[in-house]
Amino acid sequence: MNLNKVVLAVVVLAFLVGGVFFFTYNGLVSAQEGVDAQWHQVENQYQRRADLIPNLVDTVKGYTAHEEKIFTEVAKYRSQWSAAATQEEKMEAAEGMDSAISRLLVVVENYPQLKASENFLALQAQLEGTENRIAVERMRYNEKVRDYNTQLKKIPSSFVAGMLGSEPKVYFEAEKGAQDVPEVNFNQPGTTTSPFVSPSVTPPSTITNASIKLYGLKTDVELGENIIFKLSAVNLITKPVMRAQVILIPPSGMSVTSSDNAFSGAGQYTATFDLQPGGSKDIEITIQTVQTGDFNVEGRVNYYFGTDLSTAEDYTLQLPIKVRNKRPI
């Protein structure tokens, strides 16, 4: 009788252990498939952009044939993307292409006839749409990676993952330094004296000659409250005009609005403006929360002075936000 009870207990325990292993294993497989499937979506959008690049370059080259350096750089990263054999290589090539295309579009600003070309405008619209899709799919990919990596650390998933040799997935990270808020001070155009400072809610009170900052005013909120960012730009140099562009990509499903007359809505916020010598601009950007969790808002800041493209600077950044459940009343 006692032996039967022992056997029964062993059988029940084996079923329980087997059941836990079965469901945990299936959960890990589903999470991994989710990451892989989302990566394919990222690849699809980058491939769409790579397919647009030859036409874009040919159109721009028709007006700016002497800008050979930037054309060579764009072609190099496109070739790297096509030849990349691993996910890490594709990420590296994609980030290089991000920067090269940004500089190509800065070049375009100096050619009014090109900017007015119907062919270029059509290509630019397609490129902007693709960039929006890339930003969204990258963010969704990182969310899948976060969920998978978190599952690997939890019990009992960590034990099962160890038995299977499962490794954490790689995030599609922004360029080094992207987690910092860019604050670039100039003694003269093109001279960067302090390219990055630690994120701060309160902006510094002293500015040497010019700066552009994007920082969080309210980034830890309850569901239903608004996330608030502040864009602050100042041009104190005597000459020339500073042209700046700021792009902000909210988490998937959240809408963004601003106090400025700029493109905003579900998907992204984009503002392009010129600051005359001695001019300044402050914009408040609001993101409406629709889900709880820890997220990253992707931002991009680029600018240059006058028509001197050697002064161009381009920064990508991640701005962390937290949305909590409402406290019970």
- Over residues 258-270, the pLDDT tens digits come to 877 655 555 678 8
Would you kindly state where each structural domain of the chain is located, as residue ranges? 19-164, 181-324
Q: State the pLDDT at residue 266.
A: 58
User: pLDDT confidence of 195, banded at 50, 70, 90?
Assistant: very low
**pTM score over 0.75:** no
First to last CA, the chain: 57
3-state helix vs strand vs coil in the chain, percent to 5: 45, 25, 30
Q: How far apart are CA 95 and CA 222, in angstroms?
A: 33
Q: Which CATH superfamily is domain 181-324 in?
A: Immunoglobulins (2.60.40.10)
The answer to whether domain 19-164 has CATH 1.20.1440.20 is yes
